[in-house]
């Protein structure tokens, strides 16, 4: 599959790149996509939520009322979950939400995500670009020239570029990452994926291991 290469002014350069059918034209696997996205979101969780249980509360252990005949639920000391200000039953405890996923599964998920984007005409290839200094205005100009300023954009560079990353960091609808770090969640969460020309080759190397 051939795609025209645009410059950062949004004009065609006359060059074309070939998108590997083994990556961009497969039958997407929805279950594998689900597993990869679930793992990614789980790995972002801190897992530090904590609520005190009955044995951890500070308070008297004196039994406040008789066992039966009070007309209400039975409860013991003032730390009882039945009372206002008491402990919480089965509250959250610190835990690790990270999970493992096979490399082949991750690769298939990323191929599926990219294939979905091709089906939605959501992939644009631009010539390689860089900024001399972090300038959000310059990044916005690139997005406007490509006519995607009102969409969620994922820009994939051949390798990490600090100036381009910092230029897009304050924009809610823009994400910049290197080809080696591409993942299914970021691809599916974007309306448009902008691939730099040499990033296409870098993605081929990463996903055809």
Predicted confidence (pLDDT) per residue in 6-24, tens digit: 999 989 888 999 999 999 9
Give the model's confidence band at 115: pLDDT under 50 very low, under 70 low, under 90 confident, else very high: very high
- Who has greater pLDDT, 100 or 1? 100
Same-domain pairing of 74 and 130: no
Q: Work out whether the CA dihedral 74, 77, 83, 88 comes out positive or negative.
A: negative
Give the model's confidence band at 76: pLDDT under 50 very low, under 70 low, under 90 confident, else very high: confident
Q: How many domains does the chain have?
A: 2
Same-domain pairing of 173 and 77: no
**Cα dihedral: 55, 57, 62, 64 (round 10):** -110
Same-domain pairing of 66 and 130: no
- Please say whether the beta carbons of 123 and 114 come within 8 A: yes
Same-domain pairing of 38 and 56: no
What per-residue confidence (pLDDT) applies to 107? 95
State yes or no: pLDDT of 209 exceeds 80: no
pLDDT digits (tens, 9 = 90+) for 134-189: 999 999 999 999 999 999 999 999 998 999 999 999 999 999 999 999 999 999 99
Closest alpha carbon to 94 in 56, 159, 48, 45 = 48
What per-residue confidence (pLDDT) applies to 200? 93
Q: Work out whether the CA dihedral 23, 25, 26, 27 comes out positive or negative.
A: positive
Give the model's confidence band at 112: pLDDT under 50 very low, under 70 low, under 90 confident, else very high: very high
User: Residue 72's domain spans which residues?
Assistant: 51-91
- Work out the angle at residue 48's Cα, subtended by the Cα atoms of residues 45 and 51, and round it to the nearest 5 degrees: 130
Locus of tokens 């091709």: 118
Same-domain pairing of 8 and 41: yes
Between the CA of residue 36 and those of 1, 169, 179, what are the distances in Å? 26, 24, 17
CATH (domain of 148): 3.40.1370.10
């Amino acid at each position: 599959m051939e795609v025209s290469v645009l410059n950062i002014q949004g004009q065609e350069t006359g060059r074309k790149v070939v998108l590997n059918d083994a990556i961009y034209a497969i039958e997407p696997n929805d279950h594998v996509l689900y597993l990869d996205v679930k793992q990614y979101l789980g790995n972002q969780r801190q897992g530090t939520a904590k609520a005190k249980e009955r044995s951890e509360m500070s308070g008297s252990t004196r039994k406040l009322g008789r066992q039966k005949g009070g007309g209400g639920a039975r409860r013991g000391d003032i730390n009882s979950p039945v009372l206002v200000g008491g402990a919480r039953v089965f509250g959250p405890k610190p835990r690790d939400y990270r999970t493992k996923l096979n490399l082949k599964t991750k690769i298939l998920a990323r191929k599926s995500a990219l294939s979905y984007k091709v089906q939605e005409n959501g992939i644009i290839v631009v010539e390689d670009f860089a900024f001399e200094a972090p300038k959000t205005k310059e990044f916005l100009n690139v997005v406007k020239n490509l006519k995607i300023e009102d969409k969620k954009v994922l820009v994939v560079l051949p390798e990490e570029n600090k100036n381009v990353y910092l230029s897009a960091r304050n924009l809610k609808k823009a994400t910049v990452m290197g080809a080696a770090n591409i993942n299914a969640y970021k691809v599916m969460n974007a309306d448009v994926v902008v691939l730099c020309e040499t990033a296409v080759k870098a993605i081929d190397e990463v996903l055809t291991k």
